């Protein structure tokens, strides 16, 4: 089974702090994704990566950055946390094959509260 793990289930930070959210997958997937989930808005893509050291902006990248130094690890960074970044953050990974989109497998999520 694919396993995607996230470093923290719950996190509380202060406004202005630098925040790191870590995600690790154990299936040698090329693709990794960061989403945020808010009530009534579904899942929105923040950033994704198709390979080590590669990153692409998603739909809502403002206020975030990412790092992918190793294939299995994808980090989301909030340079200066703000209260409007209080949310559930979900990491996902997928394989690359053929012309069809491949299934994304999600981690358990990190619920971040910024005070």
Partner 1 sequence: GENVEQHPSTLSVQEGDSAVIKCTYSDSASNYFPWYKQELGKGPQLIIDIRSNVGEKKDQRIAVTLNKTAKHFSLHITETQPEDSAVYFCAASLNKYIFGTGTRLKVLA
Which residues of this chain interact with partner 1, rule CB under 8 A?
4, 40-45, 48, 58, 90, 99-101, 103-109
Q: Please report how close the Cβ of residue 72 comes to partner 1 at its closest, in angstroms.
A: 17
Considering the complex, state which of residue 44 and residue 70 has its C-beta at the smaller distance from partner 1. 44
Which among 93, 108, 94, 83 is positioned nearest to 6, based on CA atoms? Answer: 108
Q: Please report how close the Cβ of residue 107 comes to partner 1 at its closest, in angstroms.
A: 5
Q: Please report how close the Cβ of residue 108 comes to partner 1 at its closest, in angstroms.
A: 5
Considering the complex, state which of residue 37 and residue 67 has its C-beta at the smaller distance from partner 1. 37
Handedness of CA 96, 97, 98, 100 (dihedral sign): negative
């Amino acid at each position: 089974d694919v396993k995607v793990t996230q470093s923290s289930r719950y996190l509380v930070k202060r406004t202005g702090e630098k925040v790191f959210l870590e995600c690790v997958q154990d299936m040698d997937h090329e693709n990794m994704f960061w989403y945020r989930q808010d009530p009534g808005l579904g899942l929105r893509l923040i950033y994704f990566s198709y390979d080590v050291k590669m990153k692409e902006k998603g739909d809502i990248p403002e206020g975030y950055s990412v790092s992918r130094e190793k294939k299995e690890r994808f980090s989301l960074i909030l340079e200066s946390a703000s209260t409007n970044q209080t949310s559930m953050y979900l990491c996902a990974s997928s394989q690359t094959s053929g012309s069809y989109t491949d299934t994304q497998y999600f981690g358990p999520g990190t619920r971040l509260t910024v005070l």
